[in-house]
Chain A
Amino acid sequence: MYKYVFRRVLMLIPVIIGVTFIVFFILNLSPGDPAAIILGDQATAEALEMKREELGLNDPIFVRYGNYMVNLVHGDLGTSYRNNLDVWDQVIQRFPNTFILAVISTLIALLIGIPTGITSALKQYSMMDNISMIIALIGVSMPVFWLGLMLVIFFSLNLKILPSQGMGVGFIPLIKSLILPSFSLGAMSAAVIARMTRSSMLDVTRQDYISTARAKGLSEKIITNHHMLKNAMIPIITAVGLQFGTLLGGSMLTETVFSWPGVGRLMIDSIKSKDIPLVLGSVIFLAIMFTVVNLIVDIVYAFVDPRIKSQYKRK
């Protein structure tokens, strides 16, 4: 089992190298000259050349990438062009905000998605099933940022019970300011998870061992809880993990709607101010987080699925 975990962790290294290289390469395609951005329009050609040399922009891209990665391992993502602040510090300072939003959203998605999916599957084609699947389909089709804005109109502007933007300080204001963003971020995941749970449960229902369990005379409750749910859980866990990763790496829309001080919004703001080290730092950080979450999901998966476990025990 540890062999499996070790192998998966090792496989992470080439993926992270690949991901960071692609992001680094894409952001270096940018036609703008960073030296000109820092020094402004008035700079002389000589000053520009010196700045380029100082930033290492005259080196080939592989050399620059190598230097960047060596610094990254040391927790150094360079300094921001605009305000000369350390990029790593800025990203790390914002990350807990993105993380807490993703965790709460995933919890909401789980609490809504899984029970809905299960009841839908157990009562297939019932009124309840049809209604919840239509709602789930609408949920999958809704732009996240639009749902966020609609929630703001209803709860903040009309009812005036929840704050429309920013992050509250202190426990109660924090919870209050989390409700709208996490719900709008979690709604789509809830819909995805509900659909996934339903189809996974329905797949399991058709298996022979369920018929066997029925033939043995087990009660429906035991069949549902012990035979169906346990088997249906495996693909659901994957779906939940993927959703968590997506929420972590894709929260910039919600963060923009609610002015949430997370990494996503930091990235969007730095794109607008053409602050390339900050863009690069936040994109690479989010991409690495996404990859790590996927790895954790894979490992959890192996612990839950006895088939993978036994494969590695025999060896």
Chain B
Amino acid sequence: MEKVKNANKVSEQRSLWEDTWRRFKKNKMAMIGLYFMIILVIIAFATIVIDIATGQSFYNQHIIKQDLRRRLEGPSPGHIFGLDEFGRDVLMRMLWGTRYSLFMGTIAIVLSCIVGGVLGAVSGFYGKVTDNVIMRLMDILLAIPSMLLAIAIVASLGTSLINVLIAIAVSLIPRFARTVRASVLTVKDQEFIEAARAIGCSDFRIILKYIIPNSLSPLIVQFTLGIASAILSIAGLSFLGLGIQPPTPEWGAMLSNARTYIRDAWHVTAIPGLGIMFTILALNLVGDGLRDALDPRLKN
């Protein structure tokens, strides 16, 4: 009996995700976005593997080393995106910069998703005073433009990789708290929660096993779109000189440094921006596709 029940549960669960995937696959734009993101992830890992394998010597030779005689050289067959203000290959720096945008964006969102998610779940589940206190705090955080909040945090703590992560993560917490709270509120009073309580599940177990899985789909969509806005904010901070510092090949920082030479060489400014734009575009496409695929109203 037990086995049959489990088997049923497993097949149902799988069909939900299979269903979502089937609908997602039909969306051509979303698939293009997904392929683009997969390529970026592969590039990010490949460059990390190269760095480890060559013990940073490849990195120092091709990404950091300057060649001032050839500075600001335009695109040529040898360097299809040209050379930057210190004579470094723009394409190489773009490839090596992938990891910063991608992983820092993701880590920031994972952090704010965990903190915001827990706050939202607790807030929605316990209601009353707890809810009021947490949500008013979130309202206040929301009342500060997220870029402004991030800048204030970085201005105070100083510019380092970790501080930029904290700044972006904190400024995006309210979004997740609100999303999770809203879905907890819709799930909370349903019968299966009552049933779980009746068989003596602890609050912790109810939240973890029954409430979170049921509020997962809006969270996944927010997660994807959140990475996009985190990447934009990181690039923005770096552009202002408050994010990742040169000579690290972060895209926003590359753009910021190249700005001085905008009169002589447009490619050094244009290309990192295009990189940021296509990444955000791909994430937005995936996010929109996921939203449509996970929306039960659009089934069939």
CB-CB nearest in chain A for B235: A143
Q: Using Cβ atoms and an 8 Å threshold, which residues of chain B touch A140?
A: 280, 284
A135 vs chain B, min Cβ distance (A): 11
B42 at the interface (CB under 8 A from A): no
Measured between beta carbons, the chain A residues less than 8 angstroms from B157 are: 29-31
A27 within 8 A of B: yes
Q: Check A81 for interface membership: any CB of B closer than 8 A.
A: no
From DSSP, what is the main secondary structure of chain B's interface residues? Answer: helix
Partner of B266, one of A153, A245, A279, A287: A153
Interface residues of B in 277-293 (CB under 8 A from A): 277-278, 280-281, 284-285
Complex contact A149–B144 (CB within 8 A): no
Cβ–Cβ contact B156 & A149, under 8 A: no
Collect the chain B residues with CB atoms within 8 Å of residue A145's CB: 236, 239, 255
Q: Is B269 among interface residues, defined by CB-CB distance under 8 A?
A: yes
Interface residue from A152, A153, A268, A287 paired with B240 (Cβ < 8 Å): A268
- Decide if A286 touches B143 in the complex (CB within 8 Å): no
Quick check: which of A92-100, A120-128, A246-254, A307-315 contacts chain B, the rest being far away? A246-254
Inter-chain contacts of B113 with A (CB < 8 A): none
Please state if A245 and B273 are interface contacts (CB–CB under 8 Å).
no
* A31 & B158 in contact (Cβ 8 Å cutoff): yes
- Complex Cα distance, B136 from A241, in Å, reads 21
- A138 interface residue, CB < 8 Å from B? yes
Please, how many angstroms separate the alpha-carbon atoms of A19 and B143 in the complex?
A: 7
Residues of chain A lying within 8 A (CB to CB) of residue B144: 19, 22-23, 249, 287, 290
Q: Are A149 and B255 in contact (CB under 8 A)?
A: yes
Question: CB distance B139 to A287 under 8 Å?
Answer: no
Say yes or no: is A213 at the interface (Cβ < 8 Å to chain B): no
Within 8 A of B (CB), among A1-49: 14-15, 18-19, 22-23, 26-31
| Residue contact B284 to A253, C-beta cutoff 8 Å | no
Asked if A150 contacts B270 (CB within 8 A), the reply is yes
How many chain A residues touch B (Cβ–Cβ < 8 Å)? 45
Proximity string of chain B (62-89) to chain A, C-beta cutoff 8 Å, 1 when within and 0 when not:
0000000000000000000000000000
The one of A15, A30, A150, A283 in contact with B140, judged by C-beta atoms closer than 8 angstroms, is A15
Question: Cα distance A157–B270 when bound, in Å?
Answer: 14
> Inside 8 A of A142's CB, which chain B residues have their CB?
273, 277, 280
A303 on the B face (CB < 8 A): no
Give the nearest-CB partner of B280 in chain A: A141
Whether the pair B155, A271 counts as a contact (CB closer than 8 A) is yes
| Across-interface contacts of B155 in A (CB, < 8 A) | 27, 30, 271, 279
Q: Is the CB of B148 within 8 A of A149?
A: no
Contact flags (1/0) for B104-125 with A, using CB distance below 8 Å?
0000000000000000000000
Cβ A286 vs Cβ B270 within 8 A: no
The one of B147, B235, B252, B280 that contacts A250, using a Cβ cutoff of 8 Å: B147
State whether the Cβ of B207 lies closer than 8 Å to any Cβ in chain A: no
Q: Are B240 and A245 in contact (CB under 8 A)?
A: no
Interchain CB contact under 8 A, B262 and A153: yes
A249 partner residues in chain B, CB cutoff 8 A: 144-145, 147-148
Given A253-B236, A268-B240, A283-B152: A137 and B277 within 8 A (CB)?
A: no
| B259 interface contact, C-beta 8 A | yes
A268 to B139, CA, bound (A): 25
CB contact between A252 and one of B141, B151, B158, B263 (< 8 Å): that residue: B151
Bound together, the chains give a CA A189 to CA B232 distance in angstroms of 15
Partner of A15, one of B143, B273, B281, B284: B143
> Which among B156, B232, B235, B252 is the interface contact of A27 at CB below 8 angstroms?
B156
Q: Are A245 and B281 in contact (CB under 8 A)?
A: no
Name A291's contact: one of B143, B255, B263 (CB within 8 Å): B143
Q: How far is the CA of A68 from the CA of B141 in the complex (A)?
A: 20
Contact A294:B143 (CB < 8 A) given known A153-B266, A250-B148, A286-B148: yes
20 A-B contact pairs sorted by A residue (CB < 8 Å):
A14-B136, A15-B143, A22-B140, A23-B144, A26-B156, A27-B156, A31-B157, A137-B281, A137-B284, A146-B255, A150-B273, A245-B145, A249-B144, A252-B151, A268-B242, A271-B242, A283-B148, A287-B144, A287-B145, A290-B143
The 7 closest A-B CB pairs, nearest first, are: A146-B273, A18-B140, A249-B145, A141-B280, A141-B281, A30-B156, A271-B155
Residues of B within 8 A of A (CB): 136-137, 139-141, 143-145, 147-149, 151-153, 155-158, 228, 232, 235-236, 239-242, 252, 255, 259, 262-263, 266, 269-270, 273, 276-278, 280-281, 284-285
Given contacts A145-B255, A146-B273, could you give 19 more A-B pairs where the C-beta distance is less than 8 Å?
A19-B143, A22-B141, A23-B152, A141-B277, A142-B277, A143-B232, A143-B255, A146-B269, A153-B262, A153-B266, A249-B148, A252-B151, A253-B147, A253-B239, A279-B155, A287-B145, A290-B143, A290-B144, A291-B143
